[in-house]
A and B are shown apart, each in its own frame.
Chain A
Amino acid sequence: MVETSRHKHIKMIMQIFIYIFCIFLALMCVIPFIIMVVNGTRSTVEIQQQAVTLLPSVHIMDNIQYMSLGVFNAWIGFKNSMIVSVGATACAVYFSSLTAYALMAYDWRLRQPFFTFILAVMMIPAQVSAIGFYQFVFRIGLTNSLLPFIIPAIASPTIVFFMRQYLLATFSIDIVNSARIDGAKELYTFNRIVLPMMKPAMAMQAIFVFVSSWNNLFMPLVLLTDYNKFTMPVMVSQLRGNIYRTELGAIYLGLTLSVLPLFIVYFSLSRYIIAGVQLGGIKE
């Protein structure tokens, strides 16, 4: 009896320790963002006097004004990033599903080699071919266009792989066969029957493509020189400029604006996002 109560004690102390530790980590995750949002509403003088506070101030309009002195323009960044992210997401999700369907539903000779090929190229980081990509885009005259960030998403090996795994678990050829007997064309069958079945997997992948496309900095920084085409991360990189050196409030506000859409997406879809990451882990 004494033994078990001692065990209970140890267990409770352990549990309290775990909670304290987790709360500490959670604070570490959110505090920088809280500071960012709060300081975005404060004037530079206030920030310099006291950098950390939870009390917002009233200088948000001033900060907006200071922000627009330089090149940072949240609206242009938002618009361009939205075009790129939505376009890339649509391309990646639709065509990856189509490719995965081709791998599952049809028996063609190169099917297995093609799948092996997809597995092989999945691990190649995009940055290896960055110089070649830049030269190619330059030659076809698409620098300062948003297309080079959208069209290539049609070939996304990782998403094809994920979609194939999903179909492997859920897809049965019988549905397709009965559609064929009814005289449905193949692409029609895919669009009207298979695609709706894949909705959960598509939604999950869509979130990740959207976010990674939104966050992409390297290639946009290389390809975009026209300020009207800047995506959000390129806009953010402008906040490093000398004009903003002394305008801390404007910097914090700019940073806040740049990630506001992400926060909205994340907190409204967090359950699916967490489930999606955990699903990705068992793809071995």
Chain B
Amino acid sequence: MKHKNFSYAKYGYLFCLPFVLMFLTFSLYPLIFTTSIAFTDRAGPNVAGREYNILTTTVIDEAGNEIEETDLFGNFRLLLNNRGFRNSFGNTLIIWSINFAPQVLLALLLAAWFTNRRTSIKGQGFFKVIFYMPNIITAATIALLFRAMFLFPKGVVNDTMIQWGLMEAPKNFEVDPWASRLIIAFIQFWMWYGYTMLIFISGIMGINPEMYESADIDGANAFQQFFYITLPNLRTIMVYTLITSLIGGLNMFDIPRLYSLGGPDAKTQTSSLFIYGQAFEGTYRYNVASAASIMIFIIIACLSVIIFYLMRDKDAAKLKKIQKEYKKAQKLAQKAGDK
């Protein structure tokens, strides 16, 4: 061969270059920029040539003089004491939890039915296509569609409820905080259970079929098989679903923005709406909005780590620990032997 010692390594770097450059410019730089803004007084409309400084506060020293002291975490402190921020974070958690629990339960149930070999469900392909459909439709459109359907006093839902005798008079859903939260949670649930179901189905299909066969031989019924084989083996997929759903849920924007604009009385104001409001709706408080983004991100990261830790495979972890100790003991024994 002509180039026996020719190294192709440079092409590895070369072909990654577009990715790396774009990542640095449009992801990493904005991330660092956001972080740094969070510690400054960068607020007000963008004006060319204006300078921004790290936050300071005025404190009075022992001699009674007023001195300027840097106050790095001023924006964060402001947020922690801000009722709007706390309220929006609480709302986000409430709406996410209301949607997540039923979503996972329904997805699990459907996945168990669709993968059960005894009750083979026909038309699965059709059901999968229909259940997944809301997930790919523009969330903005769905939010306004539900808004139109829940109109007061004459709307699809009010009309139907009255016709079916479920309600006596039309209800103004728009002004009821819990109704608004429930509707937003329902929309999220409705958009996502099909996706979660598909993920669970592929997870169940990845489980070794021999486990089910030997369970059959041992006479385990469908419920036992579900609880003792399917559920434990779905652990990784569950963690994945929980974390991706949490990330998505804590960044929820489109639906509360267009369905209720955060109302009534800011009861459906989510964190993302809060951040958007601080930065882009006339107040230009970029610094506070940045600090809020960073805080939400840190909370997401911490929650993810906690979920990983709580849902980790305890037996596997134990086994690893024992193996480690065993190796240690072996080494020690070897050392002692060498002497």
A residues with a Cβ closer than 8 A to B are 11, 14-15, 18-19, 22, 25-26, 28-30, 32-33, 35-36, 39, 48, 50-52, 95-96, 98-99, 101-103, 105-111, 114, 121, 123-136, 138-139, 148, 151-152, 154-155, 157, 160, 181, 186-187, 190, 211, 214-215, 217-218, 221-222, 232-233, 236-237, 239-240, 248, 251-252, 255, 258-259, 262-263, 266-267, 270-271, 273-274, 277-282, 284
Contact = CB atoms under 8 A, between A and B. Distances in A.
A132 B146 contact: no
Contacts of B272: 127, 218
B240 A271 contact: no
Contacts of B137: 33, 215, 259, 262-263
Given A32-B145, A127-B251, A131-B290, A215 B138 contact: yes
B119 A152 contact: no
A108 B195 CA distance: 38
Secondary structure call for the B interface: helix
Interface of B: 1, 8-16, 18-20, 22-23, 25-27, 29-35, 37, 46, 110, 113, 118-119, 121, 123, 125-134, 136-142, 144-149, 151, 154-156, 158-160, 190, 194-195, 198-203, 205-206, 236-237, 240, 243, 247-248, 251, 253-254, 257-258, 261, 272, 275-276, 279-280, 286, 289-290, 293-294, 296-297, 300, 304
B131 A102 contact: no
B34 A251 contact: no
A79 B18 CA distance: 27
A160 B19 contact: yes
Contacts of A101: 15
B19 A95 contact: yes
A51 to B, nearest CB: 4
B121 A18 contact: yes
Given A131-B275, A251-B144, 17 more contacts: A11-B119, A29-B190, A30-B130, A51-B149, A51-B159, A129-B27, A129-B30, A130-B30, A131-B33, A131-B279, A131-B293, A132-B31, A133-B34, A237-B257, A237-B258, A251-B148, A277-B202
B239 to A, nearest CB: 9
Contacts of A98: 15, 18-19
A29 B134 CA distance: 7
Q: Which of A25, A128, A274 has the most CB of B within 10 A?
A: A128
A237 B32 CA distance: 30
Secondary structure call for the A interface: helix
Contacts of A259: 137-138, 141
A218 B253 contact: yes
Given A131-B286, A152-B26, A217 B253 contact: yes
B198 A51 contact: no
Nearest to A128: B297
Contacts of B148: 39, 248, 251-252, 255
B26 A106 contact: no
